[in-house]
Structure 1
């Protein structure tokens, strides 16, 4: 699955795993010693890295392969860059008829609509036509206001119709398009972790670009350490945190953007104006669920720092680090004692 501007981008979140410990599949050792397997492949338009920890080399390798197989399977259902995917079929039938989909596709669309409601439309899976009009990384064009105004009926997420009994999705206007690129990687990380557990892994990390899900622990560590990237200083971190059976995801204005006349135009659009959202430089969300972390970081970015942090503080098991438009750092109350200095 790829977003319309996707490319292999630098990680928004840097996994700080020791290279000596994770330098590939471990050789056979006594069963009392943890085995660590790590591999990387291209899926969903990005580099996917999977690390598994167990007390058996074969189990670690099997868990890593199971994770890749699950991610590849989900890509076949959810990618709007594949004409044979379920979501592409939903989009192709926009304005004509509803489409029956798998449990996974339906679940992700339903959860996406719930996050749209939670973020007052800040997160919106119907934004595809507006994203294409901007074409931030390809054409680098600033679309005319009249063009954006004509697109507004096509990006109305509230008009998406779902039937839970029949498990169907219907887009009522021709030209509407669902794109779950803003939440699909977090969902895939969640599913990959589940199959790794079933394969026998005692711990591990699934990293799809800036979307990371960790479970269990590394040997001799209390969690999985990650660093949060500075949105304006490449190679610099603004903080360190250990993940404990958690996911982390970052939305930033620095990965896909262009500048014109001193103005930065980036890919995170405000669904209400169809202009780039201006309140934040980056938003990092930590949650138990990768789907929630992936969807909320974009929604909070659009809501802005004050409203976004108020939402975070109202939600259980959700924390956030927000860098506002001026570069000021905001950290949610439950994260302040956990955030380390790089």
Structure 2
């Protein structure tokens, strides 16, 4: 998603202030390859500031667990041991791997973090005509990943990529920490693509306003009010995209752009997985969205929009003005 849209989304939220500014604290830091924006409302300024800083610390801790961009990342180290037998892993990584497997099953394999080898292939610039030999099928099944207690083993040639779900996992962990620390409300935003709301800002009890991106660069369709829920937006970028394209595990090929999906869920991990799955499945995936009870927004290359339980609002002029004033 463009930095412009990320800025618009953040601006739409930080334009709201609580009854007294002393009750709110904000933090913004580069984490997980994007910018994490944190807004915390608490009973006093010291608590709010402490929790905002703790949110950034928690995000960096999860980046160390889930990154595959740095060789010292825990998941990167596990990938490097593929085919070498079981290795002891942290309880955080073990829990994350179990969530990945569960959500892969729930989405019928449309979300599959085991496509790591394919992501590396298709991330490279240059022409790509066909999927690598042997591509297609399930990548995070028992044959590829063995989980036993605090040990994990990857089969030779296997590799996991948490890019489609890592921010959601981190947001849920941050939210748990903020709730335990006494946050009255909070809004967490990872680059405009993964967001989580705790409660609502005092001046907007319906929820934190978030702009809904469109498939065209710099476009938006309206605003949703997010309260005690999470939102995730995925977009097909195609082969050669620096961030890595979204891979269809069934074919081993990148999903053709442009296609955009936003999913609302009770937690950020679920929202992340399902927004990716919806890109892979296309409109056929809306049947599963209906069955899951989630909310979704989709826009295709023709500008055709389809929604499920997705309540777009016309933003207040003041909200638009504050958003547009930001660079």
Segments ≥4 residues shifted beyond 4 Å: 6-10, 150-153, 256-259
- In the aligned structure 1, how far is the partner of 2:281 from the partner of 2:203? 40
Matched ranges for 1:58-137 at <5 A: 58-135=46-123
Cross-structure match for 2:146: 162
Alignment CA distance shift 1:18-1:81 (3 Å):
closer
Deviation at 1:325, TM superposition (A): 3.8
State the alpha-carbon separation in 2 of the partners of residues 77 and 298 from structure 1: 21
Which of 245, 266, 271 does residue 293 from structure 1 map onto?
A: 271
C-alpha contact 1:51 1:204 (8 A) present in aligned 2: yes
1:207–1:213 Cα contact (<8 Å) kept: yes
The 2-side partners of 1:114 and 1:194 are apart by 20
TM-score, with length taken from structure 2: 0.86
- How big is the alpha-carbon RMSD for the aligned residues of Structure 1 and Structure 2? 2.6
Higher helix share: 2
Give a deviation string over 1:189-217, Cα, whole Å, max 9, x none. Answer: 11111111222210011111110001011
Asked if 1:213 corresponds to 2:163, the answer is no
Q: Are 1:310 and 2:267 an aligned pair?
A: no
1:262 equivalent in structure 2: none
Equivalent residue number for residue 341 of structure 1: 314
State whether residues 247 and 290 of structure 1, in contact with CA within 8 Å, keep that contact through their aligned partners in structure 2.
yes
Aligned-pair CA distance for 1:7: 10
TM-score, structure 1 length as denominator?
A: 0.82
Q: 1:339 to 1:240 in 2, by over 3 A?
A: same
Structure 1 residue 195 corresponds to structure 2 residue 173: no
Instruction: Find the aligned partners of 1:80 and 1:324 in 2 and give their Cα distance.
Output: 30
Check 1:12–1:37 CA distance in 2 against 1; reply closer, same or farther (3 A cut): closer
CA distance in 2, matches of 1:160, 1:49: 36
Who is 1:140 aligned against?
Answer: 125
Higher relative contact order (CA 8 A, sep 6+): 2
SS of equivalent residue, structure 2 residue 202 = coil
Distance change (3 Å), C-alpha of 1:310 and 1:51: same
Report the 3-state secondary structure (helix = DSSP H, G, I; strand = E; otherwise coil) of the residue aligned with 1:14: helix
Q: Which residue does 2:247 correspond to in 1?
A: 269
Alignment of 1:209-288 (within 5 A): 209=191, 210-222=193-205, 223-232=207-216, 234-253=217-236, 267-278=245-256, 281-288=259-266
- Give 1:104 shift: 1.4
In structure 2, what is the Cα distance between the partners aligned to 1:7 and 1:285? Answer: 18
